[in-house]
Structure 1
């Protein structure tokens, strides 16, 4: 049975693809997969999501060929924990990567609790979807940012280019590139995003009797905010939009988009268009000082919608109907079982918190998605940067918290003060009106679900007082920043 038909059958009858096909099926029956994963690319940072300044014609054209998810989420509000959720298919209490690094973030005298440090490396006993896909007969590659260990190869990849523990281009988007061995001989005028595109094209073009799965994980548009000079010049001359107006961010985004266009032409020239699935999304909210996710509140590092909701689309020829949208809430842990079902790979013997998106991609209404909750857990601190206007307080983008979304409702719980915030995302996607006091039944129902989930995943809740906390110093700094802002 051809793999695309197999996947459709599996989606409709609820069976894993491995129930009907062996992972050793011929490569010709298996689709290639191009997974484009951007860094700090916000919910509205593409034309197909409503940007009025950034230009993304190639991404827009791809999105029009498939299904756009309006309520797609990252597994965390910043890089490393989100990527750990993505690769493991597990929520953060299971893999224990909670933040970028394990040190306390922010001034030590600010914040009432000791944080939960967790770890900064994805455990090697956790199998990733790359392991599963490779075992199913795929040639696997990762190109670009990795951030979960010193080397991605032990995590199921046959090929790595530029993936290290670094969370950003070590010295920027132009050489020298610091501790990335593959880029030691990069020409001085070579822009990193373009080089990663070149490497992706080379990987796709390699002769092989296996189908390929490429994880193209751009550093863009992570800081430093640094674009190609000719594109920066172009956007400096362009009329600003009401939503977006940052010329360097616009240039960085266009470099990504141009690269996507080149890759798609390569796939077309090799006659692989109808046998290649394309998945596109990002790791967390946009970089607050340079972009906006409005009407959503927040940005990278916050657990308001702007910090965790992502642009996402899937193009699956013969399965996804062109020009469709899906407003069902999904999260990046869902991609693990989705990739396995797409490729006929067997799921590993470990907890997987996501659901396969195949029924949604086939246009089927799966009741499992209608009743489930999505969760986030952040038992740490993440300090503010230049923007402080769309977070709970001016000192931290996030303090220790847990979050649940269930249907239209979203509940925040903050551990320092026991604060609860309840929002109706259908009526109030910008999370402007806290309904915790006026809707006690919904508040308590979600709070109960959240506490039960924490118990089931052994999620650590910080309770130990911070011995260095200085309430007076904290209040002085809050007052100083508010005065500066005003």
Structure 2
């Protein structure tokens, strides 16, 4: 074992040992699970058999088969109510990796190749917990212009965001091509596959990328398990860029068998790198689809006609992913690590209308297979079809087989989930996601997910006849979506913060045809109110009002993605209060400033204001204060934090000041926000280790307030 790996494992062990005072990890007797997170590109909710295609088969419509994914779903959980954070690739993947919503991500809209924040990521948190981490496939968040050739500006490459190694496409645009050396269709030139610091495309003759990523993933897992460090768990982010874009075909049939000795294999010889690096690129159509026919005119009296080649290609691309998943699962079984490996499979956004095929091919309309499932909308839409994802989660012995999970969730919940499964630790407070383990395992109380996105695109929803009339041709531009319980509020072509939400009960009305907002007096049942976990909302009109406030209270403006509601005052709240703040102290050694919802306080009480003297200097401890700040006038306010340890400030659910990740003690951080007069809930975290000095300055300025310490008369707590 080399020295670097030894110390990495030692540090992780010390972190986890220090946390054993908290019950969750101390009670775990099993080995920490490996984690494989599989993300595919532009695959719709309806593209998987068990989610929708099997139903189409029964109806006699053109359908795709995904037998291995169906089997995977049967061995664990189908998450039928999970969302992507955004309806397009880059922002969706950025939110996933950072664990935050589009209201807090620094990558929004169509900011392809922008560097994601230097902060906690899915990989860095697992790395901190002692995991070996690898990213394979598509990245596109590296921080350089897509035409940059030397990578000097790639300061957000995967290995700078928590991954030990990377193999794949660095640039977003390269992910439009599935034969990196041949460059057949998209821009008809080679694109670069990086093996850490080396471009190996010249060695990749006839390598179809879905096969390439699978072969490398299998080789890496096998090598890891054969190494002296196999006791160290691994986290793999396996990001396929198919079926997105060019719809190129493989060279040949998927190799027989699967797992350790069959299926796709890494051969490692330049020019013959993987098992299928032979034959003719872009030539193989899966036999199930090669001669498929369908009723093109809905007239059983006329002969059926062959599927257009475009859809044979699309179905073959999706089936190739299915084979790849089956191959990987068999490998885990052969290596006898399947029962201690979490597998999550999902997509980054809804199905695409894009195909980039040469002239002569029909356009890739997702209507042919109903790739959007029982919904309306596609990629770039905030209708359910653009953001509802086909998600599968498997963890033998923990997630019961055959589970159908109907609890609403979103993909940035996975980082807290993996942290929980690996250690019992809560996620960093910086993250907007919550652990899904309670709902997946049936153990514990599930916290409610924040399901929110915002997005801009100068286009329209396609006018497919299969879509409801109220969706066809809808102008997109500024869009916003918020889910509360069974209800989704969505806005298209937003011009002002006052624009109304369309409101749909997406459980009863998944196609979103009945806009409840047109009848604001419509009552909300007790059962529907329970799903929202919000008090006092008894009709749709009240829900409309709440949504208008809520979408301002969960986000912060981003300079490069301006919104028409950026300059709107954040509404205050009504509450029965008395002076002072509530506080809790949590003892323990944490690798980051943690979310506290699932932690047990060692002491708690009330004080006139946040008081760090409550923490004894000889202890590692977190002070958590919450309550309300009384804002005297409408206007712009700036909050300041200066600490000798980690600190974090939220107002409502807005991330105001992050003094956690790489925070330099003594550095003053500040944030400005527009607030309406009245009460605004706040949460202030301060975490020090016993060797840290104890100091925290919490200040503000605003209309009629020069910069000063927030005084006791501004703090209130719930009666």
Normalising by the smaller structure, the TM-score range is 0.7 to 0.9
1:353 match: secondary structure: coil
Residue in structure 1 matching 2:240, options 218, 221, 245 = 218
Contact 1:406 1:446 in 2 (8 A): no
Q: Report which of the two structures shows the higher radius of gyration computed on alpha carbons.
A: 2
Residue in structure 2 matching 1:66, options 38, 63, 76 = 76
1:45 corresponds to 2:47:
yes
1:248 match: secondary structure: helix
CA distance in 1, matches of 2:194, 2:351: 29
TM-score by length of 1: 0.80
1:173 corresponds to 2:179:
yes
Q: Structure 1 residues 197, 239: closer, same or farther in 2, change over 3 A? A: same
Mapping 1:265-284, distance limit 5 Å: 265-284=330-349
Partner of 1:83: 93
Unpaired segments of 5 or more residues in structure 1? Answer: 1-15, 103-118, 465-486
Mapping 1:375-390, distance limit 5 Å: 375-378=452-455, 380-384=456-460, 390=467
Contact 1:18 1:344 in 2 (8 A): no
1:19 corresponds to 2:22:
yes
Report deviation, 1:135.
1.2
Alignment deviations for residues 321-377 of structure 1 (CA, whole Å, 9 cap, x no partner):
1111011111011111001111117556442111100001112473533xx652112
CA distance in 2, matches of 1:311, 1:277: 17
2:45 match: secondary structure: coil
2:202 match: secondary structure: coil
Residue in structure 2 matching 1:335, options 398, 411, 414 = 414
1:300 corresponds to 2:375:
no
Report deviation, 1:286.
1.2
TM-score by length of 2: 0.55
Partner of 2:328: 263
CA distance in 1, matches of 2:34, 2:450: 31
CA distance in 2, matches of 1:214, 1:435: 43
Contact 2:376 2:471 in 1 (8 A): no
Mapping 1:189-228, distance limit 5 Å: 189-206=206-223, 207=227, 208-209=229-230, 210-228=232-250
Alignment deviations for residues 54-111 of structure 1 (CA, whole Å, 9 cap, x no partner):
1211111111100111111111101111111111111112123212227xxxxxxxxx
Give the CA RMSD over aligned residues.
Answer: 3.0
Contact 1:278 1:314 in 2 (8 A): yes
Contact 1:136 1:345 in 2 (8 A): no
CA distance in 1, matches of 2:451, 2:379: 18
Contact 2:91 2:110 in 1 (8 A): yes
Q: Structure 1 residues 435, 235: closer, same or farther in 2, change over 3 A? A: same
Contact 2:42 2:242 in 1 (8 A): yes
Q: What is the number of equivalent residue pairs in this alignment? A: 427
Deviates more, 1:454-463 or 1:241-250: 241-250
Residue in structure 1 matching 2:399, options 312, 316, 320 = 320
Partner of 1:249: 314
1:169 match: secondary structure: helix
Report deviation, 1:457.
2.4
Mapping 1:147-166, distance limit 5 Å: 147-149=140-142, 150=154, 151-166=157-172
CA distance in 2, matches of 1:47, 1:36: 17
CA distance in 2, matches of 1:367, 1:232: 42
CA distance in 1, matches of 2:387, 2:542: 23
1:457 match: secondary structure: coil
Greater relative contact order, per chain length (Cα 8 Å cut-off, separation 6+)? 1
Residue in structure 2 matching 1:235, options 283, 286, 289 = 289
Q: Structure 1 residues 239, 64: closer, same or farther in 2, change over 3 A? A: farther
Contact 1:403 1:450 in 2 (8 A): no
Deviates more, 1:144-153 or 1:66-75: 144-153
Partner of 1:451: 549
CA distance in 2, matches of 1:448, 1:459: 20
Alignment deviations for residues 296-321 of structure 1 (CA, whole Å, 9 cap, x no partner):
01011100000000011111111111
Partner of 2:107: 97
CA distance in 2, matches of 1:428, 1:403: 16
CA distance in 1, matches of 2:295, 2:41: 23
Q: Structure 1 residues 354, 165: closer, same or farther in 2, change over 3 A? A: same
1:411 corresponds to 2:404:
no
Residue in structure 2 matching 1:433, options 503, 514, 517 = 514
